Amino acid sequence: MAGEFMTLPNARRFALTDATLPAVLVKGFSGPAREGLIQADIVIADGRIERILPAGAAPAEIVKADMRGGMAWPCFVDMHTHLDKAHFWDRRPNPDGTFMGALENVRADRIANWSAEDIRARFEFSLKSAYAHGTRLIRTHLDSIPPQPDISFPLFAELREEWKDRIALQAVALLPLECVLEPAIFDGIVATTKRYGGLLGGATRILPDFERILDTLFRAAADNGLDVDLHADETEDRQVLTLEAIAEAKLRNRFEGSVTVGHCCSLARQDEETARRVIGKVAEAGISVVSLPMCNMYLQDRHAGATPRWRGVTLFHELTAAGVKTAVASDNTRDPFYAYGDMDPVEVFREAVRILHLDHPLDTSARVVTATPAEILGRPEIGVIAEGAPADLVLFSARRWSEFLSRPQADRIVMRNGMGIDRRLPDYRDLDPLMEK
């Protein structure tokens, strides 16, 4: 493609030579690392990675594409998104950028506009962008206030099937947690979630009977073989710390499924002792944490006329050090919760490095948009570079971290099954008919 930094050979078997790989993402090969980066030649045959060899060791007779030190990454994983909400900013923006403004305007737009046709157009726009940027696996939350699940889940199942060779999709029912104690509503949502192979989720806040809500939720998940993915404590309010209750509930119910929590912003507002205690329980419960740095920076500490004084993100380093699986993801894209975004994990990574200080050293940071979210999502074969795996790679002209993190990497090549894909992004004009509503 025009604008890309090199041309891939049109051959059944070829080698990417002198490539730079983040060592933390390479299985079964290692070499001397500098800032976590190693040099290698990658032999590709029939769409698969045949061999990973020391740089310069590719067989003499093979067709070669010289990377000249450029980085090769596995395809990306975006483990927390909202593709049912995406891309309606122009018809219903957030007038003041606050969390309340987001809630109110998403609600109004959902009631007015969220037919299967409307969601499909915006969801697919996101998938096309994500695919062009190099993403291979996405988990989305789906607003699940009845009757929306009956519209969104069947549509999701159709899209999961249509896109299965390009992007693997998972969906979480984002339900209003107060309805968990109303069997007439909750049982229906659980049944729909199970029918379409989803997960149970919701946004926690301080609610009467919160422990009973969590127990009921975990019991329903266990009874139906469903995993759980919750939005937790997306607030600067210190009084709100549901993360501890979630960890206790998982332990109390001996829940054996996978539990993920997103945001956990208010954890960063606690005193040291409280933070340490809660992190210990999260680690003990084996709960994974995904941080959404771009959305948190946008929504948290926003007060009219005032400059924000904190970054909004959770205690990422402390959770990681305690043995908690941690990752970062996009979250919202061009909706009232976040005015921007393009489903580009390179942007998410670049911003995460800056907001969360994932640098100095950067040695293992590449895992946060690749290997770790793939593991959390139960797809550990994705997000790594390994012999025998499909040649699903993202190739960059950038050779070192400072080069990688200083430009948007718009000239990257996305390789799927050993072949470069068309990386053209969808045109915003395609969404114009939806914005006239």
Q: Where would I find the beta strands (DSSP E) of 67-215?
A: 72-74, 76-81, 135-143, 168-175, 199-203
CB of 341 to Zn ion, least distance (A): 12
d(CA 245, CA 265) in angstroms, rounded, equals 15
Nearer CB in complex with Zn ion: 65/290: 290
Nearer CB in complex with Zn ion: 258/260: 260
From the CB of residue 254, how many other CB atoms can be counted at a distance below 10 Å?
A: 8
Environment class of 361 (CB within 10 Å of its CB; exposed 0-12, middle 13-18, buried 19+): exposed
Looking at beta carbons, which residue is closest to Zn ion?
A: 331
CB of 331 to Zn ion, least distance (A): 5
CB of 336 to Zn ion, least distance (A): 12
**CB-CB contact of 366 with 22 (8 Å):** yes
Four-residue CA torsion sign, 334, 354, 322, 243 = negative
Residues 317-356 within binding reach of Zn ion (CB under 5 A): 331
d(CA 105, CA 346) in angstroms, rounded, equals 29
**Active site annotation includes 234:** yes
d(CA 150, CA 116) in angstroms, rounded, equals 10
Environment class of 115 (CB within 10 Å of its CB; exposed 0-12, middle 13-18, buried 19+): exposed
Nearer CB in complex with Zn ion: 65/295: 295
Catalytic residue among 124, 234, 244, 375: 234
**CB-CB contact of 382 with 374 (8 Å):** yes
CB of 92 to Zn ion, least distance (A): 18
Number of residues that bind Zn ion (CB under 5 A): 1
CB of 85 to Zn ion, least distance (A): 9
d(CA 136, CA 408) in angstroms, rounded, equals 19
Nearer CB in complex with Zn ion: 244/335: 335
Reduced to 3 states (helix: H, G, I; strand: E, B; else coil), residue 180 is helix
Reduced to 3 states (helix: H, G, I; strand: E, B; else coil), residue 140 is strand
CB of 295 to Zn ion, least distance (A): 7
Nearer CB in complex with Zn ion: 70/373: 373
Nearer CB in complex with Zn ion: 205/400: 205
Interface residues with Zn ion (CB under 5 A)? 331
Q: What residues act catalytically?
A: 234
